[in-house]
Structure 1
Amino acid sequence: MKTILLAALFAGSTLTSFAQSDSTGAKTDTVRIGGMIIIKKPGKDGNESREVTITSHRRNQLSNVSTNWFIFDLGFANYNDNTNYAAAQQSGFVTSGIGKDQLNLRTGKSVNVNIWVFMQKLNLVKHYVNLKYGLGVELNNYRFDDERVRFSKNPTVISFDPTLDKASKNKLAADYVTAPLMLNFNFAPRRHNSFGFSAGISAGYLYSARQKIKDDGHKTKLHDDFNLEKFKLSYVAELTLGPVRLYGSMATKSMWEKGLDQTPYNIGIRFSHF
């Protein structure tokens, strides 16, 4: 079987072979095939048995383009609220009784989930500097601390509804198709669990928005864009600490076309190979 294996390797590759002698004077045959060296040594005491050792002498080559499929992010969603509520009430976008306190979020229950169909890393400088980009969906759930907030549409009005005082859930969901573009710095490119960071921007398009209320076991959903900005541009960053990967994003401006001045941000953990 060893003879057949060696014959097949000879037939399928360009070979370079030569003979050496070990310290006992016995002949040792060495065959080089691409990135492998096959060493064939005689058995002990000159018998007919043979020992074949295969070693590799080629360093692992890193691909200039690496692809990671179906990356999952799990984190928290929130926003910086700089709204002038007196002006917002005067414009009719919010009613009396709605202020910053009513639109505060429950931090532990306002969730961001991202599902990236793919992310690619393009080598720029010896794999230490790379261009990183991808495409996926960004799902944000803003859970209101005051359950009595109610949205209406055509036109959008945010009001205070006392009948929702016993509601168990009240949230605004905003979902985007998003494409990030980052410059990646990898301090240990040949390590499986490397160290580094990425920073750049992402562009998102709002494809779905809705308010979901759960009151006394009944669920209601109202679908509309609620005058949310259709396009969202964000600063994005990623930190790699061995097997742990963290991400963050911060929009460049308010998520609303008018009425409210709330700039969203996300932070969480990324489940990714690079």
Structure 2
Amino acid sequence: MKKFLMICLSFSLCSILQAQNVQDTLQSDSLKKKNILIEDSWSTKPQKHEIVKKDSFHISTNNSDTTKLKFMKKNIVKVVEEDNGAKIKIGKIGKLSYQEDRDTTKIRIGGKQINIIDGWHGTRVRIEKVQPWDPNQDKFFVEEEKDFRGHWAGFEMGINGLAEENYSGYISDLNGFIDLNLAKSIAVNLNFLQYDISLQKERNTIGLVTGLGLEWNNYRFDSDMTLEKDISGKIQPVGFNPEWNIKKSKLTSIYLTVPLLLEFQIPVKYNTRRVHLAAGVVGGLRLGTHSKIKYKFKGNTHKDKDHDDFNLKTLRYGAQVRLGYRSLNLFGTYGLTNLFEKNKGPEMVPYTVGITLVTF
């Protein structure tokens, strides 16, 4: 039984390790046809490189008895020989090792270990469960770090609010006329494009994040009023017909957003699960604005929309902070510009707090 298992395992290992002799047997024409790149770091022979645009294999062997077979820069098989056995890694999930002592051969596959024991009374085979490989203890099974990837792209929802309100340009009776219903002042963000720039050579935990997104901001008024421009072009509150039963009155804006964020990632488990923290600025270009009124009059429901700029800033920017763990992401944005153009409306700064519901 032991000999049969060892023969099978040895055949598999020999098939993989035999790749180091391919350099002496392959001809130059077959290299061009099969697109194979072979490197022996311990060899004094000139290295042969075949640069291809499509599929390419990379077989490398170094003096630490480690052999790697790569395809498109990704590890397919990784083998390391030791004094009393070997370790094999196939792709991302295939992990195999064998170790031979004086009277026991141990073959480990994933979370199970096969013990082949030679004793006075014959050969015994015992299968037992073992703990998964810990990358912190066995660096052989550590995955090669991927490129830095930030946390911007996704679908988000939040709540809009207004701060630092100043109505000094209005009569006292109009002080605070923009009063929001925060629970219904919903923000919807669709961040559809992301571009990452790593700031490290050996690691992937710090980088810059930018991209594009669309931002819908709803400001739901808590009182029965809407906004209009007066003769001078200044924003003024306007009441409704007393006979109207007001259901909804809000102001909606759409912005094209561009972020520039510095993101830090802190590995917390096996280097794959991370806490991420990002901070920076997000600029916006206004694409459209409208007000909407929904009301009932004489038993009929009416919906009126007024498309206008309402003196909202055409270009605006704000400071943003993002904090999360894996796909969970919270964000907060505080405006660095006023909501309205200067002297065209009350002074106030918009802010948004929300959560990422879906990541791309």
Q: TM-score, normalised by structure 2?
A: 0.57
CA distance in structure 2 between the aligned counterparts of 1:237 and 1:166, rounded to whole angstroms: 40
Choose from 212, 218, 223 the match for 1:146.
Answer: 223
Does the C-alpha gap of structure 1 residues 63 and 250 become closer, same or farther in structure 2, counting only changes over 3 Å? same
Structure 2: gaps of 5 or more residues: 1-10, 23-33, 39-58, 81-87, 96-139
Could you tell me whether the CA contact under 8 Å between 2:261 and 2:280 is conserved in 1? yes
Residues 198 and 272 from structure 1, CA distance in 2 versus in 1: closer, same or farther, beyond 3 angstroms? farther
User: For 1:187-266, what aligned pairs fall within 5 Å after superposition?
Assistant: 187-188=266-267, 191-216=271-296, 217-257=301-341, 258=343, 259-266=345-352
Cα distance change on mapping 1:214 and 1:185 into 2, 3 Å: same
Pair 273,121 (structure 1): closer, same or farther in 2 beyond 3 Å: farther
1:136 alignment counterpart: 213
1:64 to 141, 144, 147: 147
Q: Describe the shift of the 1:272–1:253 C-alpha distance in structure 2 as closer, same or farther (beyond 3 A).
A: same
Cα separation, partners in 2 of 1:37 and 1:264, compared to 1, 3 Å? closer
2 CA distance for matches of 1:241 and 1:121? 18
Quote the offset at 1:242 in angstroms.
4.2
Greater relative CO (CA pairs within 8 A, separation 6+) = 1
C-alpha displacement of 1:163: 1.4
Flag the 1:215–1:191 CA change in 2: closer, same or farther, 3 A. farther
Where does residue 173 of structure 1 map in the other structure? 252
Equivalent residue number for residue 98 of structure 1: 174
Question: Deviation of residue 273 (structure 1)?
Answer: 4.7
Q: How many residues align?
A: 238
Quote how far apart the aligned CAs of 1:251 are. Answer: 0.7
What amino acid maps onto 1:227 in structure 2? N
User: What displacement does 1:153 show?
Assistant: 7.1
What is the deviation of 1:174? Answer: 1.2
Structure 1 residue 73 displacement after superposition: 0.8
**In 1, distance between residues paired with 2:184 and 2:293?**
14
Moved more, 114-123 or 58-67: 58-67
> For residue 47 of structure 1, what is the aligned residue in structure 2?
none
Note the C-alpha offset of 1:97: 5.2
Question: Which has the larger Rg?
Answer: 2
Structure 1 residue ranges without an equivalent (≥5): 18-29, 40-51, 90-95
Which segment drifts farther, 184-193 or 212-221?
184-193
> How far 1:202 sits from its partner (Å)?
1.0
Supply the distance in 2 between the matched residues of 1:103 and 1:69 (Cα, whole angstroms): 31
In the alignment, the residues of structure 2 paired with residue 53 and residue 63 of structure 1 have an alpha-carbon distance, to the nearest angstrom, of 18
Over the matched positions of the two proteins, sequence identity in percent amounts to: 24
> Which residue type is aligned with residue 212 of structure 1?
K
* Structure 1 residue corresponding to 2:184, chosen from 109, 134, 154: 109
